[in-house]
Chain A
Amino acid sequence: MSSFTLSMTLAFTLLAVAASYWQRLALERDILIGTVRAAVQLLAVGYILYFVFHAPSLIFTFLMVAVMVGVATQNASRRGKGLPGVQWRVLAALTLTEVVTIGLMLLFRMIQPTPQYVISLSGMIVGNAMVVAGLLLNRLQGEVDARRDELRVLLSLGATPRQAIQDQLRAAVRACMIPAVDSLKTVGLVQLPGMMTGQILAGASPIVAVRYQILIMFSLTSAAALCSIILGLLTYRLYFNQAYQLAR
Chain B
Amino acid sequence: MSLQATTQRAWSPLFQLRGVSRRRPDASGEPVAILDHIHLDLAGGLITTLVGPSGAGKSSLLHLLNRLDEPDEGSILYQGRDLRQWDVVELRRSVGLVLQAPVMLPGTVEQNVGAGPRLRGQALARERAVELLRLVGLAPALLERKAADLSGGEQQRVSLARTLANEPRVLLLDEVTASLDPGSARDVEELIVGLTSRLSLTAVWITHNLAQAERCGDHLVLMAHGRVAEEAVTAGFFAGPATEEGRRFLESGKEVHP
Contact = CB atoms under 8 A, between A and B. Distances in A.
Given A157-B119, A158-B116, A150 B103 contact: yes
Contacts of A156: 66, 68, 92, 96-97, 99
B87 to A, nearest CB: 10
A245 B69 contact: yes
Contacts of A152: 68, 99, 103
A149 B116 contact: no
A155 interface: yes
A231 B92 CA distance: 29
B105 interface: yes
Question: Chain A: interface secondary structure?
Answer: helix
A153 B99 contact: yes
Interface string B155-185: 0000100110010000000000000000000
B240 interface: no
A159 B68 contact: no
B9 interface: no
B89 A158 contact: yes
Interface string B3-15: 0000000000000
B162 A157 contact: yes
Contacts of A167: 106
Contact of A244 (B88, B93, B101, B166): B88
Given A243-B88, A244-B88, A154 B119 contact: yes
Interface residues of A, number: 16
Contacts of B119: 154, 157-160, 163
Contacts of A163: 119
Interface string B83-104: 0100011101100110101010
Given A159-B119, A243-B70, A245-B68, A153 B92 contact: no
A157 B115 contact: yes
Contacts of B257: none
B67 interface: yes
A96 B129 CA distance: 45
A167 B96 CA distance: 22
Given A150-B103, A163-B119, A157 B92 contact: yes
Contacts of A160: 89, 119
A149 B119 CA distance: 17
Most chain B beta-carbon contacts within 10 A, residue among A152, A154, A158, A245? A158
Nearest to A157: B116
Interface string A87-114: 0000000000000000000000000000
Contacts of B198: none
Interface of A: 149-150, 152-160, 163, 167, 243-245
Given A157-B92, A158-B93, A158-B119, 7 more contacts: A149-B101, A150-B103, A155-B92, A157-B93, A158-B116, A160-B89, A167-B106
Shortest 9 CB-CB distances between A and B: which pairs? A158-B93, A149-B103, A157-B116, A156-B97, A158-B92, A158-B89, A153-B103, A244-B88, A159-B119
22 contacts: A150-B106, A153-B159, A154-B105, A154-B115, A155-B92, A156-B66, A156-B68, A156-B96, A157-B93, A157-B96, A157-B119, A158-B92, A158-B93, A158-B120, A160-B89, A243-B67, A243-B70, A243-B84, A244-B88, A244-B89, A245-B67, A245-B69
